[in-house]
Structure 1
Amino acid sequence: MKDVSGLIGLHRILGAGWHLIDKLVRVGWTPDQDVIPYLDMIKDQRVPASTYQRIKQTWNQEWSKRVIAELRMKRIEVMTVYDADYPELLREIPQPPWVLYLRGDRQLANETCFAMVGTRKPTPYGRKITKQLAEQFVQAGLTVVSGMATGIDGDAHHATLESGGKTIAVLGTGIDVVYPKNHVRLYEKIVQKGLVLSESPPGTGANPGLFPQRNRIISGLSLGTVVVEAAERSGSLITAECSMEQGREVFAVPGPATSEQSGGTIQLIQQGAKCIRHIGDVLEEYAQFATAVTMERNLVGLKKEKDQLRSLTEYEKILYRELSNEPISLQRLMDEVGQVLSISQVHPALIMLEMKQLIQQLPGNRYIRI
């Protein structure tokens, strides 16, 4: 089918959502046909009177042409379920989007993708793991998909781009509405080096009801979903649930039992999600990606880390061994190393470890490995 302008025009009319279009298609409508006769056929199938009247008064060929011209003017691409490059993985989900609006490299939607999601209020541990996993996905040649939300989602996009990888941001707003607003620069970077897409028509603002719908697309584009940190009622668990419903793998990063932000991931592991520490735990579920190239890339990363540790002074090694993924106060650190190091030796060593980007100082005079 070449002419899909009718579908694009219909999709821009308020009320013409997934279910209404599905009803029209079920009675035989195709985008190259006049929609009005088919609209009359489904009038009694729980179609709101206001939506019925709005479509009858708005939809025609001229309307569709104006919609497409507006999209071109705004440099917004469109992908429909009828297009040859529509992602096959997305076709498999229960409710594949009829229309997707895009900015960036649309070919990425057909790359091998994995979703990485998590809480909007991550701990330093969660941020560290997100960065490590994103870098490892990039090394394996995989595309990282997330929702561009504050927290783990945004960190996953940032880390992927900083590692020279490709990432896809699936928005819960219109493609031209950046949410949250403080992610404008991140949005622009993803448009330039990755792909931003949305099911919602341009101009659609943030609405709580749209984000769960968005989550099914994040998981639908992906072979599997990695949940880094999530509270027991986190929206990230909706993405994990979508992934399971779609027959995809779900992976969860373990965290401290006392951490509120690990409550959801622990729950997922109890329900059967695979517990992961690094990308090797993911790749072993997909033998086709555990190639010699992937293994070589991982070995290069390990060698680099070992070389970095070998360059440490004796004082730095002592301190580094005492630090972990959990923040530790300076006082507690001194309690552990006080018999071998004085405070005058500890302070310069900590500064050097920070300069070498091996540790990070947190508020409250606490330290953590990064």
Structure 2
Amino acid sequence: MTKKLEHVQAWLQLTAIRGLGPARVRHLVQTFRSPHAVLTASVEDLITHGGLPAPLAHEVTVPLGSETMKRIDRDLQAVARGQYTILTLDDPSYPSRLKTIPDPPPILYMTGQLPDTDMTAIAIVGSRRATSTGRTFIRHLGGELAALGFTIVSGMARGIDAAAHDGALSASGRTIAVLGCGIDQTYPPEHRRLREAIERQGAVLSEFLSGTPPHGYHFPQRNRVISGLSLGVIVAEATIRSGSLITAHHACEQNREVFAVPGSPTHALSRGPHHLIKQGAKLVETVDDVLEEIFPHLPASMQERIATSRDPQQAALPVLEKEEAEVLERIPLEPVTLEAVLSQGSRPLAELMGILLSLEVKGLIAHVPGPRYYRTTLRHGLHTP
């Protein structure tokens, strides 16, 4: 076994001890200088210098069970075969932003890659039972953020999470999925192809031992990692008692920005975001709302790139006549019928058809058979006075 794998083994053994949470493991390794030193310390030293209660100090000195050691051996063999990577808290490749939270995972299992550019990440979370409109909006928002160079972080769940990952992938951007199960598990199972795409354009992470099933209590614990990796968290379509609001709570504790996408005041999935907005979260209607808060926290090189891309002259935003802007405001991201667009205004059909054609030519809307029209971007273009 190589020295590096021996070091990883010590971390795995330490984190497998019951009663040692992430914060305690971090404290012990900082105190004793290495996980191996913790494992070989005396009960007296663990109590005196490590601050452990006597029963837990004794537990640290007791050899792990054979099944646990077999599991650790399987992990080390998988790493040696290149099936996945294990990042320890003292590994230079461990995400530096995640290290700043009070209780970072001592170990991270990973498939894919984590380059330094993933430091500029935005998390997007929301309901598994998201509406079609919510999924479409988040797919567009995630895509626009990814196109600007942000890495999109989410939990690979159904609904909003999947839409956020899809948006980033469709923009050829980077995205990270944080699992609530072992790295060798895919949950939900129907997201196997999504996971493979994420691994090609980002990374899949887990703090749980391989073979760990997706227990419900793992997901609130996982959520602190989603926020910890990110500059800010966007919440879309969530109930008051949802895991998404737990993620937002973690974000506040970690001094991250919190954003919320508003919705219908009568819909249950709007209550979570609306609650956050009342508490001071930034309301998000377009990507510009996110940039207003995040921009000062970005590296100078990224600020310059975004400023250039958002400059109207550089970004070549289409110029809209007043009537075009008015019609565009009535077209949502989800396809609507021609009759619905017509009923919202007073323009004759022939004039409306001309405006719709102009908006299509400018790349702001598209249509599907019906005909039904939908917006292709969250951007509005420039109005002429």
TM-score by length of 1: 0.79
Residue type of the alignment partner of 1:291:
Q
> Is 1:18 aligned to 2:49, yes or no?
no
* Equivalent of 1:28 in 12, 26, 32: 32
- Which range moved further: 19-28 or 86-95? 19-28
Structure 1 residues 59, 87: CA separation in 2 closer, same or farther (over 3 Å shift)?
Answer: same
The 3 A distance-change label for structure 1 pair 233 and 302 is farther
Aligned residue in 1 for 2:12: 8
**Counterpart in the other structure of 1:210:** 218
Structure 1 pair 68/160, CA: closer, same or farther in 2 (3 Å)? Answer: same
- Give the conservation status (yes or no) of the 8 Å contact 1:109–1:221: no
Deviations 1:138-171 (A, max 9, x none): 2321111111010111111011011010011000
Q: CA deviation at 1:320?
A: 5.8
CA RMSD of aligned residues (A): 4.1
* Rounded Cα–Cα distance in structure 2 between residues aligned with 1:57 and 1:244: 39
Residue pairs, 1:217-296, within 5 angstroms: 217-285=225-293, 286-287=295-296, 289=298, 291-296=303-308
Please give the per-residue CA displacement for 1:162-210, whole angstroms capped at 9, x wherever unaligned: 1010011000111110000110000111112210010001111110110
Alignment of 1:347-366 (within 5 A): 358=365
2:144 corresponding residue in structure 1: 136
Residue 198 (structure 2) pairs with residue 186 (structure 1): no
- Deviation larger for 121-130 or 291-300: 291-300
SS of residue in 1 equivalent to 2:186: coil
Q: 1:168 aligns with which of 176, 181, 197?
A: 176
Report the Cα offset of residue 89 of structure 1: 1.4
Question: What does residue 100 of structure 1 align with?
Answer: 108
> What residue identity is the alignment partner of 2:296?
A
User: Which runs of structure 2 are paired with 1:330-345 in the superposition (5 Å)?
Assistant: 335-336=343-344, 340-341=348-349
SS of residue matched to 1:106: coil
Alpha-carbon shift at residue 368 of structure 1 (Å): 5.6
Which residue in the other structure is 1:158 paired with?
Answer: 166
Q: What amino acid does structure 2 have at the position aligned with 1:255?
A: G
Deviates more, 1:56-65 or 1:31-40: 56-65
Partner of residue 297 from structure 1, selected from 303, 309, 323: 309
Q: Which runs of 5+ in 2 are unaligned?
A: 377-385
Does structure 1 residue 306 correspond to structure 2 residue 311? Answer: no
SS at match of 1:291: helix
| Residues 38 and 239 (structure 1), Cα distance of their counterparts in 2 relative to 1, 3 Å cut | farther
Match of 1:115, SS state, is: strand
In structure 2, the CA distance between the partners of 1:293 and 1:70, relative to structure 1 (3 Å rule), is closer
Q: Residues 90 and 133 of structure 1: is their aligned pair in 2 closer, same or farther, counting only changes over 3 Å?
A: same
C-alpha spacing 1:26/1:295, structure 2 compared with 1 (3 Å): closer
Give yes or no for the alignment of 1:198 onto 2:206: yes
Aligned equivalents of 2:37, 2:102: Cα separation in 1: 25
User: Deviations for 1:244-275, whole angstroms, at most 9, x for unmatched residues?
Assistant: 01111101112221222211101000001111
Contact 1:115/1:226, CA 8 A, preserved across alignment: yes
CA–CA distance in 2 between the matches of 1:10 and 1:197? 19
Query: Which protein, 1 or 2, shows the higher relative CO under an 8 Å CA cutoff with sep ≥ 6?
Result: 1
With 104-113 and 25-34 compared, the bigger mean Cα shift is at 25-34
Match of 2:382 in 1: none
State how many pairs are aligned. 356
Give the deviation of 1:15 after TM superposition.
Answer: 6.8
In structure 1, how many angstroms separate the alpha carbons of the residues matched to 2:185 and 2:214?
8
Q: Is the 8 A contact 1:6 1:64 kept in 2?
A: no
Question: Structure 1's 254 and 103: CA in aligned 2 closer, same or farther, altered over 3 A?
Answer: same
Q: CA deviation at 1:281?
A: 1.9
TM-aligned CA deviation for residue 232 of structure 1: 1.9
Unaligned runs of 5+ in 1: none
Partner of residue 73, structure 1: 81
SS at match of 1:83: coil
Separation of aligned partners in 2, 1:178 and 1:117: 18
| Bigger mean CA deviation after superposition, 19-28 or 115-124 | 19-28
How does the TM-score come out when normalised to structure 2? 0.76
TM-aligned CA distance change 1:44 to 1:29, over 3 Å:
farther
Secondary structure of 1:232 counterpart: coil
**Contact 2:147/2:168 (<8 A) preserved:** no
